[in-house]
Amino acid sequence: MASPRLSLTAGPADPRSRALLDWYDRHRRVLPWRALPGRRSDPYHVWLSEIMLQQTTVETVKPYFAKFLALWPDIRALAAADDQTVLSAWAGLGYYARARNLIACARAVAARPGAGFPETEEGLRALPGIGAYTAAAIAAIAFDEPAVVIDGNIERVIARLEAIETPLPRAKVEIAAALRPMVPAGRPGDFAQALMDLGSGICRPRNPDCLLCPFRSTCKAAAEGRATAFPVKPARKGKAIRHGTAYLVRDGAGRILLGTRPERGLLAGMAEVPNTGWAETAPPDSPPVRAEWTRRNAPVIHVFTHFELRLIVAETRLADEPTPPAGLRWVAEADLPGEPLPTLFRKVIGIAG
């Protein structure tokens, strides 16, 4: 059970920070990984949720967080888990390098005295998969360190509060400089989470509820009637498009042919449907078996961070149950949920029903 929060210093000196914390005490979100008022946050819960929340929504993360805690209730249990089992549990969350780093970080922490996380930003940054934002968030929320925590919601709140005209990402330096003196010595974790809640529920990208905001009397963007003009973003570039072909093979028993992606690169170590690879122009055909193929007219479209993939699906069903080609394996459809299949390849399999 989490221990009571240690006594903290007097309230923040900045009146804006006091107003924000007063608002948070009334309107804070109840989240599975968030400690109850007056309780100290569990560092394992904070770390796990922050890794899951990278590039992912709160509602998407909630069931994954519950599943991970049920399977691995503490850092030692996760550190001892089989890699493929963790990757399978992660499947669907995307950005699979995070899952690899999650395993590596769990093992690094479990090897420390008492299997405890470092309590400083510097110490946290030395762990696999923990960058500047995540280190600051864990330090503030789990260890009451007065760290400057800046995620996308907080960027938006502070850019509007100060009407910062510099476009992102160059504005990050000004946002950090504006936020730093606002961080209270007492309740820095609550302060960071309050800004996150404010950005999520009130200071939204579109249609912000400025009249309900605790910063309404001090927000420069709101005073100018230009809240949605901030943060200023650079001109958008079109996403690159890549093409490829996926080969969906079923044998006489209805099993599906799968492989495993390389240990490095995109979707590293995950399961995959055999495919040509992806490039700006469609790579040449490279079917895994000799057969008659039926091609779907409409591609499976999947958007990654830096490019859009358009994957043509070619299907075949074999009459017998041959030995799988080297590096591939037959998997019964009933066993697919246990495979670390990313969303992309679940789409490919799902297209044929």
Q: What are phi and psi of 274, to 5 degrees?
A: -50, 140
CA distance 192 to 84: 34
| CB contact set of 246 (below 8 Å; sequence gap of 6+) | 273, 274, 275, 276, 300, 311, 312, 313, 314, 345, 348
For the question of residue 119 being annotated catalytic, the response is no
Beta strand pairing call for 256-260 and 294-295: unpaired
Query: Annotated catalytic sites, by residue?
Result: 50
